[in-house]
Chain A
Amino acid sequence: MIEATGLTKVYGGKTAVAGVSFTVQPGLVTGFLGPNGAGKSTTMRMVMGLDRPTSGSVTVNGLPYAHHKAPLHEVGALLDAKAVHTSRSAYNHLLAMAATHGIPKARVREVIEMTGLEAVARKKAGGFSLGMGQRLGIAAALLGDPQTLILDEPVNGLDPEGVLWVRNLVRYLANQGKTIFLSSHLMSEMAQTADHLIVIGRGRIIADAPVKEIIAGTRQAKTLVRTGEALELSALLAGDGVTVDQSEPETLEVTGMDSRQIARIALDNHVLVYELTPQLSSLEDAYFDLTKDEVEYHSHLTGGPAVSAPAAAGK
């Protein structure tokens, strides 16, 4: 479990994280979503004690990270795939990290096997591709078999097989009751992996709710309409609160009116419609909606299991 209260980081006058509060629950995969520069990495670095918060506090499994007696057994973190001495082999890197906690060599070999690094374990880490670097970072995070796992952009640079592996791994660990905190700027990835989402934008929490709720909370569902008389139909549909976009010839995207109403209007006016598909709003839509207008959605969407504090604006 990770608990942050009023966490703030100011770098030389620029506020990177502005008083965020959230709780990451065990047994769930919690996604930390936000565009680049939103404050995801800074928040995670503060959780791991690499950055000192300007104000506020954060605990992991009940204690600040540095206060744990065996930190690697409490939290495993991948914050940066390049946190490795370039001239040292992957095996020796893991061995040096393991030595601090008296973790046996057998476990080092185990995580190398788990992450598929056997073939390159004796090679210098400096020559690794981004994907290999990510695997090494994940191997280091798993070394202590920690209760909480913090992964910053773990699928970055991984091949499709690696992406699937990470997804299955975090799902498996969450099912075992571990706390998983996963950041990404890829919404599609989150939709498939996370149970719960914390969305951050410009250093503030915009939403903190289960994934399903966030998708359902998106304002308007779209309906895809295909017709030979696109111009005529769009003129008929246009009205108060209804928007019609034409993305291709003979294809309309209608918002603000459900498919039954569209069919009724088409029938009444003898317009032939050959496809009418309600579009489920995707996490992507939800995300763009959320970040488009922070203020409007703040009160509306926060308040899942963990209530985000009122944005400490101007602090």
Chain B
Amino acid sequence: MTFAGVLRSEWIKLWSLLSTRILLLLTLVAIVGVGALAVLIRYTYLDDMIRTARDQGQTMTPEMLEKSFPPGSGFDLYNLPNAGLQIGILILGSLAVLFMSSEYATGMIRSTMNAVPRRTPAFAAKAIILAVISYVITTVAGVATFLIAMPVFQGIGFDLDWSTDGVLYSIFTGGLYVAGVALIGLSLGTLLRNSAGGITVLVALFFVLSIAASFMTLIPGEFWKYVPQYIPSEAGGRFLSIGHTDGTIDPWHGGLIFLGYVLLFLVPAMITLKKRDV
């Protein structure tokens, strides 16, 4: 038994299910689709503002327009590659939960543990495959989204290309973020051994919690305004943006906090997998 063999085995397991192949293709299409929609919305809005200004006899260059919005208010262009990221988080995260929980549901886990009785290599192989697949799909989708965005905004005079600040950074980190979500999904599938439970917790963690956090900011007191940025989705999201904002954690802080969350799920999952009867 070799780790390369275990890796190949897990790859065969993932790729031999037709449903997985279709899902991965659809994920790519969905991320680009949502990204294209975001491109359309921002284009319509910015184009409209330029026209309005021109009709009123004012000069409004794209550069002035860009500067009029504070960064992070939703009108940045550099982060367009990650516009469809939420879809990727939802689907690839769920797929990661299922990659483990479906083995428990079908009993396949016992065959897996027979072939790899030390267990940890099987978990590590699954983790590597999920991280790589999530990274590749997110990156490809990000590049495709940007390829759509570039000509659209260049057409109305915006200076947007691969050298624009933050473009390559957001493509690079977007893949890392989704890979991290996939690892949390795999850990949830391992800890809970149940598909529905794992996906529910994943959605709670990345979608429900951020809604709850936005209510938290309504609580009187300064303290509560700073708490939300430490939840997984906010910290991870901050990692994808560039620049320093007062009162907000820096991108690399966000990245480290998110990495902490990944380990917080990954390590207990590996320990319980090793210890528990299957």
Q: A-side interface residues toward B, CB under 8 Å?
A: 45, 48-52, 65-66, 68-72, 77, 79-80, 82-89, 92-93, 95-102, 126, 140
Given contacts A80-B110, A84-B107, A86-B106, contact A72 B13 (CB under 8 A): no
Stretch of B2-10, B80-88, B137-145, B179-187 that contacts chain A: B2-10
A52 touches B9 (CB 8 A): no
Is B17 in contact with A101, judged by CB distance below 8 angstroms? no
User: Which chain A residue lies CB-closest to B7?
Assistant: A99
Of A52, A89, A97, the contact of B111 (CB 8 Å cutoff): A97
Docked complex: B4-46 residues within 8 A CB-CB of A: 5-6, 8-10, 12-13, 16-19
For this complex, 6 residue pairs linking A to B, each with C-beta atoms less than 8 Å apart, are A50-B278, A51-B277, A66-B117, A82-B106, A83-B111, A99-B6
Residue of B2, B10, B16, B278 near A102 (CB, 8 A) is: B2
* Least Cβ–Cβ distance between B23 and chain A, in angstroms: 12
**For residue A141, which residue of chain B has the nearest CB?**
B114
- Assess the B277–A52 pair: CB atoms within 8 A: yes
Alpha-carbon distance between A272 and B102 when the two chains are bound, in angstroms: 71
Candidates B106, B115, B116, B119; contact of A85 at CB < 8 Å: B106
Top 8 nearest A-B pairs (CB, nearest first) are A66-B117, A92-B16, A99-B9, A83-B110, A96-B12, A85-B108, A99-B8, A51-B277
Q: Are A96 and B117 interface neighbours, CB within 8 A?
A: no
- Given A66-B118, A100-B115, are A50 and B19 also a contact pair (CB < 8 Å)? no
Chain B proximity of A209: nearest CB distance (Å) = 30
Residue of B nearest to A42 (CB): B277
Is the CB–CB distance between B107 and A80 below 8 Å?
yes
CA gap between A84 and B16 in the complex, in Å:
13
A88 is contacted by which of B6, B17, B110 (Cβ under 8 Å)?
B17
* Distance of A69 Cα from B116 Cα, bound (Å): 10
Contacts of A51 in B (CB 8 A): 277-278
On whether A72 and B118 interact (CB within 8 A), knowing A80-B110, A140-B111, the answer reads no
The answer to whether B111 touches A71 (Cβ under 8 A) is no
B273 to chain A, nearest CB (A): 12
Beyond the given A65-B117, A92-B12, please list 20 additional residue pairs across the A-B interface where CB-CB is below 8 A: A49-B117, A51-B277, A66-B119, A71-B1, A72-B1, A77-B114, A82-B107, A83-B108, A84-B107, A84-B108, A85-B17, A85-B106, A97-B111, A97-B114, A100-B6, A101-B5, A102-B2, A126-B106, A140-B111, A140-B114
B161 in the interface (beta carbon within 8 A): no
A12 CB to closest chain B CB (Å) equals: 11
How many B residues face the partner with a CB closer than 8 A?
31
Residues of B within 8 A of A84 (CB): 106-108, 111
With A52-B275, A85-B103, A88-B17 in contact, is A99–B5 under 8 Å at CB? yes
Which of A48, A71, A79, A89 has a CB less than 8 Å from the CB of B16?
Answer: A89
- The minimal Cβ–Cβ distance linking B112 to chain A, given in whole angstroms, is 8
CB distance from A60 to the nearest CB of B (A): 10
Q: How many A-B residue pairs have CB under 8 A?
A: 99
Contact residues of B between 170 and 225, Cβ < 8 Å to A: none
Does B267 sit at the interface, judged by CB under 8 A? no
One of B8, B17, B114, B115 near A87 (C-beta < 8 A): B17
- A82 contacts across to B, CB distance below 8 A: 106-107
Given contacts A72-B115, A82-B107, contact A99 B1 (CB under 8 A): no
Contact of B115 among A45, A69, A88, A97 (CB under 8 A): A97
Interface check B53, CB cutoff 8 A: no
Q: Which of B114-147 contact A (CB under 8 A)?
A: 114-119
Smallest beta-carbon distance B100→chain A, Å: 12
B264 located at the interface, meaning its Cβ lies under 8 Å from any Cβ of chain A in the complex: no
B1 and A88 contacting across the interface, CB-CB below 8 Å:
no
Cα(A102)–Cα(B12), bound, Å: 13
Chain A residues contacting B106 (CB-CB under 8 Å) are 82, 84-86, 126
Whether B116 contacts A100 by the Cβ 8 Å rule is yes
Which B residues touch A87, using CB under 8 A? 17-19
Given contacts A80-B107, A85-B17, A85-B108, contact A71 B114 (CB under 8 A): yes
Closest Cβ of chain A to B50, distance in Å, is 53
Is the CB–CB distance between B277 and A79 below 8 Å? no
Residues on the A chain within 8 Å of B103, using CB: 85
Neighbouring A residues of B115 by C-beta, 8 Å: 71-72, 97, 100-101
* Smallest beta-carbon distance B58→chain A, Å: 62
CB of B113 within 8 A of chain A?
A: yes
